[in-house]
Structure 1
Amino acid sequence: MTAQDPRRDVAVGYDGSVPALAALEWAAAEAARRGSTLVVVSAIDHLGLPTGALTGAPLSTEGRYAEAERRAQDGAAYVLRQHPGLRVATEAVLGGAADALVRVSHEVGLVVVGSRGLDPATSTLLGSVAFAVSGHASCPVVVVRGDGRRRPGPGTPVAVGFDGTPPSLVALDAAADVAAETGAALRVVCAWRPPPESWVSAFWEVLGDESDQVREERSRAEKVVEAARDRATARHTGLVVAGRVVTGPPARAIVEAADGAALVVVGSRGRGNLASLVLGSVGHGVVHDAQCPVLVVHGDGEQVPGSSWNAGPTRRAVP
């Protein structure tokens, strides 16, 4: 581990692809902001093929490891050209990228991944690596969508999906911390929809009116947003917080309400009529469709610090 607190370190998966380069740029800027070490992780599979190579002779074990090392070093060299003086380390891993990054997540404070990688067998849609890491990592995960140079700050707010459940409290606190540290405004989004069996509510909505049940649910959502605003401003005095109550499928509503944001934050799960922020469904939807990086945080109401587990492949410091 590094001499600094490893829970502040940032790890990024890098395979040389364009999405991985965007993730590398985002991760490097975040490590520089934190004053921490950036760990560039490159993994290559056990089949004797470089990631993404479907033709050609398989590489030997030594060749596979050398290829992983080369990629990690290439990523580190690129970062140091952009951020001279940044502390950078590399890890070359023989095995799956998702497994490698989930293991590293026990040792660092943040893992960053791109939206997809080189391997066409695993890079469908968002990419299985991004889904697996965001769902199983022991620390927060950022999936970089779009331009990796887009950062929270004045004029580029942080958005957070919030439904009042304990996991969404963790997301709210994380979003408030990021906004306060970067000078960004915070946008709290609460998505809700009437129970599907409420045909009476649907009837009155068609007529442009609302039933008592719909008004009650909307009022509840507004109170949830107000409570979130109070919590965020109590945590960070002076933080600018705006609330939005939106109706409709939660993933779509959160993505649309996050338009213009530099980062959107979701919890690992949620529940209730206030649209659930379940990572397996809504969280995946937000990660897949967002036009900016997405921060996925885990927990049931308390932040869980990363452990300093030292097992695993050798980490090489880059001079």
Structure 2
Amino acid sequence: MSAAVSSTNESTHESTDETMDPGIVVGYDGSPGSRLALDWAIETAKRDDRQLTLLHCVGLTMTPTFRAYDPGVQAHAYEEMSRGVLAEAVDIAAKTLDRKDVHPLSVIGGAAAELVGISSQADLVVTGSRGHGAVSGGLLGSTSYAVTAHAHCPAVVVRGTSVIHAGPSHPVVVAFDDSKNSQKALETAVQIATAAEAPLHVVAVDNVGGLEAWPETDTILGREEMIDQMHLHVGQALRDVAEDARRAHPGLDVQTSVLGGGAGAAIAAYAVDVRAGLVVMGSRGHGGFTGMLLGSVSHRVVHDSPCPVMVIH
């Protein structure tokens, strides 16, 4: 159960309530990782003309509980801390966005649970890869993983030491395996690439060559023929996807690549090679013709990618 500590920004006299559209929600605790997430969320909110909600979570699981503990005094201390952290974030956001479109919100509760909870109302939820721990209620690496796994809306994890945005020099990379989730990821990636005027790179991982996956009764020739057919199927599927995207969005630069190797590592390495501004992928896929985009694959990409990763549910 969470409790609101403070949802009022004293400098703007704005309040965040349950009826407000949270738009893009970013977890912020003042750590370097959450600052990168905030910067990315600000620019995205500006580009997409969306509201921005700044969520600060105060976790009490590590709070001492003994006879002298006064919850009233402690709650006041947490409220003051949250006000300071959020005031800083609002000031940063207001340099780019209209202050009325920036909504601070502080709650008592675990960061992952609160971010997942508010994601049911949000357009997008954004976390940094690392944050403060313990009482400061920060965004640990486990928080970003939990949010990407359970969010009710697209979830973005911002990684690295500097903010990278999709644009003409930084393509949007989308992982595709013909599953329902990857279809949704593709639709989202097309929209983002169009809005950011960025190239769109559609990639699939072709890992059907492992002989251990084929029945021992098959002849080597039969396996090779089947593998060749699967290779052709992967390539044709990507070409069809690219053509559909170009037809729907004239002028969009769409490129396709078939990658080999382990899916997560291959997608992350490709993002490095092309200096991607964003990787978009489904939270889970099917075995299909590539076997990619299982939950473990999306987590591997989040962990290894040099740029923000958006996971679509």
TM-score normalized by the length of structure 2:
0.81
Aligned residue number for residue 13 of structure 2: none
> Which amino acid counterpart does residue 16 of structure 1 have in structure 2?
G
1:141-162: CA deviations, max 9, x gaps? Answer: 1100125531111121100000
Within 1, Cα distance between the matches of 2:232 and 2:135? Answer: 46
1:248-297: CA deviations, max 9, x gaps? Answer: 1000111112221100001011112403202x200000001000000111
Aligned residue number for residue 169 of structure 2: 155
1:262 partnered with 2:308: no
> Which amino acid counterpart does residue 128 of structure 2 have in structure 1?
G
Within 1, Cα distance between the matches of 2:227 and 2:100? Answer: 53
- Cα 1:192–1:126, aligned 2, differ >3 Å: closer, same or farther? farther
1:248 partnered with 2:261: yes
> Which amino acid counterpart does residue 265 of structure 1 have in structure 2?
V
1:109 partnered with 2:127: no
- Answer whether contact 1:44 1:65 (CA < 8 A) is retained: no
Partner of residue 62 from structure 1, selected from 76, 100, 105? 76
Aligned residue number for residue 225 of structure 2: 212
> Which amino acid counterpart does residue 78 of structure 1 have in structure 2?
I
Aligned residue number for residue 281 of structure 1: 296
SS at match of 2:286: coil
Gaps of 5+ in 2: 1-15, 65-69
Partner of residue 145 from structure 1, selected from 159, 163, 174? 159
Within 2, Cα distance between the matches of 1:151 and 1:137? Answer: 22
Within 2, Cα distance between the matches of 1:23 and 1:214? Answer: 42
How far did residue 30 of structure 1 move? 0.7
Within 2, Cα distance between the matches of 1:288 and 1:119? Answer: 19
Within 1, Cα distance between the matches of 2:142 and 2:135? Answer: 9
How far did residue 79 of structure 1 move? 1.9
Aligned residue number for residue 207 of structure 1: none
Within 2, Cα distance between the matches of 1:136 and 1:258? Answer: 24
- Answer whether contact 1:65 1:93 (CA < 8 A) is retained: no
- Answer whether contact 2:59 2:134 (CA < 8 A) is retained: no
Aligned residue number for residue 235 of structure 1: 248
Aligned residue number for residue 307 of structure 2: 292
How far did residue 227 of structure 1 move? 2.2
Greater C-alpha radius of gyration: 2
Deviating 4+ runs (over 6 angstroms) = 120-123
